[in-house]
Amino acid sequence: MKKRVLSLITVLAMTVGMLAGCGGSADKASADTKTETDAESTTTEGEASLADVKVGFIFLHDENSTYDLNFMNAAKEACEKLGVEYMTKTNIPEGQECYEAACELADAGCNFIFADSFGHEDYMIEAAKENPEVQFSHATGTKAHTENLDNFHNAFASIYDGRYLAGIAAGMKLNEMIDNGDITAEQAKIGYVGAFTYAEVISGYTSFFLGARSVCPTATMEVTFTGSWYDETAEKEGANKLIQDGCVLISQHADSMGAPTACETAGVPNVSYNGSTESACPNTFLVSSRVNWEPYFEYAINCVANGEAIDADWTGTLATGSVELSTLGSAVAEGTQEAIDEAKAKIESGDLHVFDTSTFTVEGQELTSYEADVDTDAEYTPDHEVVSDGYFHESEYRSAPYFNVNIDGINLLDTAF
């Protein structure tokens, strides 16, 4: 009996020691946890366990896609900064291949797995349910807050802020063209090449348009869709169609160089997405907005290392460094940087809201109420009132955009996608 009591005392002492080493959280301790005494360690709490983190990344395309390359660069930067091992899988379609890739990464020892495309979500959820010990995260998804899985998460950023600022660069260029007599005020028509008629794309082109119109009130916009996130031929054809239809400036939410190169050939100013295209389009490039994913990757990897919960829905902002603009191109109008800086300061202070309902109308009327589909279902049923305090509250009830309002001044050439 005495021997058993001594053994029990020893176990209890070891348990207390483990709790102290893990910040007092018993459920975060395990037999494999590597700990150091305070006297021996010169690192902050949790950093030692970064050595146990292995990250897997699933990309829809490869480095030829500006969208995927943006994720790849951020993944490399975050993992090398934190010193963690990582694996990548490229050209993974939005189908069962994603589930298989996720399971392969889990089997290879990855304890945090991230996928970068909207259509990957259901397959990531399936993999998460089958691998409860692994943390899964997904960009631009909509279901984490309703799936209620401890190991599945969504992330995005307030890129509408970045697109609004990029729109200011576009509007300033339109003003310069008007002042130079190149176009009339009524000819200040923007063209936009979009991939799909998803809320993410609608939110993007609308915020861009509102930024442009904030400095060029006569601006209008035409939008064409390709039905693909990456189709260089279709994107080039779309840009050329818009140019032939009288659009004097082009932007995009599609992932190839098709639209920018069409603009360079035609001599039409261009605002790109996910990275500067100035090297390929030196005469027409104005600016690019992008989501910088490095802050999120660093945040999530540290959560895994420290045994902390990852937010079900994480939204990066200008303040977190998650929304960025490139360096301005040489083709921008004078005063563009100052105009962008002024608007950025107002967004960050809360004095300016991109979707301020006093700045646009819908069928001639101000938008005073709107129910959005936040808790996504098969029928896209509206379920949240999102207009209050004079603006549409984008990305506040989940990280992925849900602004899908067709405002006046924007003409959709097709809605097949």
The predicted-structure confidence for 147-176, as pLDDT tens digits, reads as follows: 999 999 999 999 999 999 999 999 999 999
Neighbours of 15 (CB within 10 A): 12
From the DSSP assignment, how many helices (H) and strands (E) are in the chain? 11, 17
The predicted-structure confidence for 80-97, as pLDDT tens digits, reads as follows: 999 999 999 999 999 999
Q: What are phi and psi of 26, to 5 degrees?
A: -65, -35
Tell whether pTM > 0.85: yes
| Beta strand pairing call for 249-253 and 387-388 | unpaired
Cα 44 to Cα 111, 289, 396, distances in angstroms = 21, 35, 32
For residues 339 and 176, is the Cβ–Cβ distance under 8 A?
A: no
Q: How far apart are CA 134 and CA 130, in angstroms?
A: 9
Q: Letter for the amino acid at 132?
A: P
The predicted-structure confidence for 248-282, as pLDDT tens digits, reads as follows: 999 999 999 999 999 999 999 999 999 999 999 99
The predicted-structure confidence for 331-356, as pLDDT tens digits, reads as follows: 999 999 999 999 999 999 999 999 99
**Would the pLDDT of 131 be above 70?**
yes
For residues 371 and 384, is the Cβ–Cβ distance under 8 A?
A: yes
What's the confidence (pLDDT) of residue 377?
A: 86
Find, among 253, 199, 204, the residue nearest to 225 by Cα.
253
H/E stretch holding 124 reads helix 121-130
Neighbours of 312 (CB within 10 A): 19
**Tokens describing residue 107:** 């089997």
